Amino acid sequence: MKVFVTGASGWIGSAVVPELLAAGHEVTGLARSADSAERLRAAGVTPREGSLDDPGALSAAAHDAEAVIHLANKHDWSNMAESNRAERAAVETFAAALEGTGKPFVFASGAAFQPGTMVVETDVNPASGPESPRGGAERFAFDRVEHGLHAIALRFAPTVHGAGGEHGFIPQIVAAARRNGVAGYVGDGSSRWSAVHRRDAGALVTKALASAPAGTAVHAVAEEGIATREIAEAIGVALGIPTQSVAADDALEHFGWIGMFWRLDIPASSAVTRERFDWTPTNPTLLEDIAAGAYTDGSPTD
């Protein structure tokens, strides 16, 4: 299949591309700079010039492809409203281009939308409207299924991990630990985070592209819920510093913006996804990656 990928040069995208190529797909990728285009070429992807701010380019690329995988995100943590609006606009553009064509539209989402409960595939993402988290894009796209959009949501664990990454949330927790001289967790550290290795995520995305029916929520989750205290302890050992509880009221000051998320209990199940796509994660767990130095000394476990 001719697959157009946004975010192909990113942390997850660069793990998805080899899987797509191995499955025999022809991959083109959105490139917003000469540097991104070069990295895409080196990975076997044909670059296509454009950006998330260029709906014409997104639309034309969708028309020329047989499937779209949308992973790009502005990730402007200091201006989440802008990231959310851009995400919504991009998904609306792709929906308009793909509705009624039968072409799969596979897009990034998250599994952490219902703190305090084990999120399952059938749970409805409550985010709605352009100002909501991720611009309410999942809800919007699923609402378009009845209008002929073959929408498939990739609900990634909040921790898509692997060696050599500066991306994702764990590097932020590690940075806070280095800053403070202690590896912190919030309260009693019983809040759980789900996790997936980026290579396992890449394999799952390719399986979902091949067979997921319209309206499917795919849970890219290998570990359903690791206590944040255990994650902090692993970081503490890797950095050779103590582990310490931080009061919930001090979380933002101690951890910075990531404190908003680090305090949350956000487990998610992938039982349905594993069964549906015959997907079994095989790569290192988050704690194994941390212990191997993936976030502290760049040891190449990836």
Ligand X SMILES: NC(=O)c1ccc[n+]([C@@H]2O[C@H](COP(=O)([O-])OP(=O)(O)OC[C@H]3O[C@@H](n4cnc5c(N)ncnc54)[C@H](OP(=O)(O)O)[C@@H]3O)[C@@H](O)[C@H]2O)c1
Rule CB under 6 A: which residues touch ligand X? 6-7, 9-13, 30, 32-33, 36, 51-53, 71-75, 108, 110, 156, 158-160, 167-168
Token pair of 219, please? 């849970």
> Minimum distance between the CB of residue 48 and ligand X, rounded to whole angstroms?
11
> Minimum distance between the CB of residue 6 and ligand X, rounded to whole angstroms?
6
Q: By C-beta, is 13 or 281 nearer to ligand X? A: 13
13-22 helix and 198-211 helix, angle to the nearest 10 degrees = 50
If you write DSSP's letter for every residue of 217-284 in order, what string do you get? Answer: EEEE-SEEEEEHHHHHHHHHHHHT--EEEE-GGGHHHHHGGGHHHHT--B-B--HHHHHHHT----SP
Q: By C-beta, is 29 or 236 nearer to ligand X? A: 29
Contact 209, 182 (CB under 8 A): no
> Minimum distance between the CB of residue 242 and ligand X, rounded to whole angstroms?
26
> Minimum distance between the CB of residue 184 and ligand X, rounded to whole angstroms?
20
> Minimum distance between the CB of residue 247 and ligand X, rounded to whole angstroms?
26
> Minimum distance between the CB of residue 94 and ligand X, rounded to whole angstroms?
13
Contact 257, 266 (CB under 8 A): no
Q: By C-beta, is 25 or 161 nearer to ligand X? A: 161
> Minimum distance between the CB of residue 76 and ligand X, rounded to whole angstroms?
9
> How far out from the chain centre does Cα 177 lie?
23
Helix (H/G/I), strand (E/B), else coil: 150: strand
Contacts of 219 (CB under 8 A, 6+ apart): 111, 119, 120, 121, 155, 268, 269, 270, 272, 273
Task: Select the residue whose beta carbon is closest to ligand X and give its number.
Answer: 10
| Of 9, 15, 12, nearest in space to 28 by CA | 9
The letter for the amino acid at 141 is A
Q: Taking the chain, what is the end-to-end CA distance rounded to the nearest angstrom?
A: 28
